[in-house]
Structure 1
Amino acid sequence: MFEYVNKEYIKNNKFKKTGLEYEEHEQKSYRLSDEQIQSLGIDITNRKAKLMKKISMIACEKFNGDYNIIEVKCNIGVSAMRKYLKGTRNMSRAALMRFCSGACITVEEAQDLFILLGHALDPKNNLADAIVIDNIKCKEGIEILYEECEKNKVLKDVFK
């Protein structure tokens, strides 16, 4: 999946979007509809609960459920991560990008999480998605993710 995405592709491709700015301005046009998600063979019943369950399983598997390790590896604060997993706070796309990068999961696993969030990864049109996919494929971690975003002038504030 996304075999063509690498640093050379990122350097040479012309992207329609550079970062996650559409979350605030044009969210409706980029969010997958329930029908689109169902067409991918995903049951949308309790989508948010399924997302939190998958994230929780990954957190237990990769970090032994230790919120402090998640904070270091993914740059997601302990309090925020607890709220995400309890469902009292919705996980942002940027937070999910950081989680996927820090957890060293596969691109396929990341794509499943993003689809459950409602925004499939789109490396053909979105530079931030391409950077995250390359980071996940290369298992480079959160520090390199930030460096690549800065180098490619992706909106830095979305990765706070």
Structure 2
Amino acid sequence: MNKEKLRMIENMEFESTDPVDFKPHEKRHYRVSEDDLEGMPSAPDDNQAELRERIIEIFENVFEGKKTLVYEKCDIDRTNFGRYLKGTYGITKSNLVKFILGAKLSHDEATELLILNGTPLCPTKCRFDYIADLAITDGDELDDFMEELVKYGCKNIASKSVL
């Protein structure tokens, strides 16, 4: 990670520290009521379907279809990842960033996945997003990214005890 850019974080003001991560099974209901949803286009569901297809493709190509590799390289719980693959749960922004870093995706690929998820990075507004953007741009290791998050005041997103 670019340490010089990361040190700039100390002089920056953000609207938030961490992304808002709702539980995956609650994600579709957290913002608007059923009445609010009437008449809205179905694009978010289409985006989620496309996102799921892209993640399955990456899962098969990069991780050889093994959830244990996703757990080892991305620190994503195998059960939750399996539920995501089946379409039972959505994927949180934190887990998607961990997946991106673990799979060593390019910044363009990462941006596409985050936009499809409806959770693009806003590095000027959110401290987590700033650190995530630097980590993705520089191709950092997941453990280094998670350590930097905690070091700069974000919540610990590690699911296994690596920190």
The one-letter code of the counterpart of 1:62 is: V
Aligned residue number for residue 17 of structure 2: 18
Contact 2:59 2:65 in 1 (8 A): yes
CA pair 56-10 structure 1, distance change in 2 beyond 3 A: farther
Contact 1:98 1:159 in 2 (8 A): no
1:55-106 CA deviation, whole Å, 9 max, x = no partner?
A: 1111222222221111011001221111111111111111111111111101
Note if 1:127 corresponds to 2:127: yes
Aligned residue number for residue 155 of structure 1: 155
Contact 2:21 2:94 in 1 (8 A): no
CA drift at 1:45: 6.1
Q: CA RMSD in A?
A: 2.5
SS at match of 1:95: helix
- TM-score w.r.t. the length of structure 1 is 0.77
CA drift at 1:126: 0.8
CA pair 159-94 structure 1, distance change in 2 beyond 3 A: farther
CA drift at 1:6: 3.7
The one-letter code of the counterpart of 1:17 is: S
Larger radius of gyration: 2
Aligned residue number for residue 102 of structure 1: 102
Unaligned runs of 5+ in 2: 23-29, 32-40
Q: 4+ runs of 1 displaced by more than 6 Å? A: none
- TM-score w.r.t. the length of structure 2 is 0.75
Contact 1:94 1:159 in 2 (8 A): no
Q: How many positions carry a matched residue from both structures?
A: 141
CA drift at 1:9: 3.9
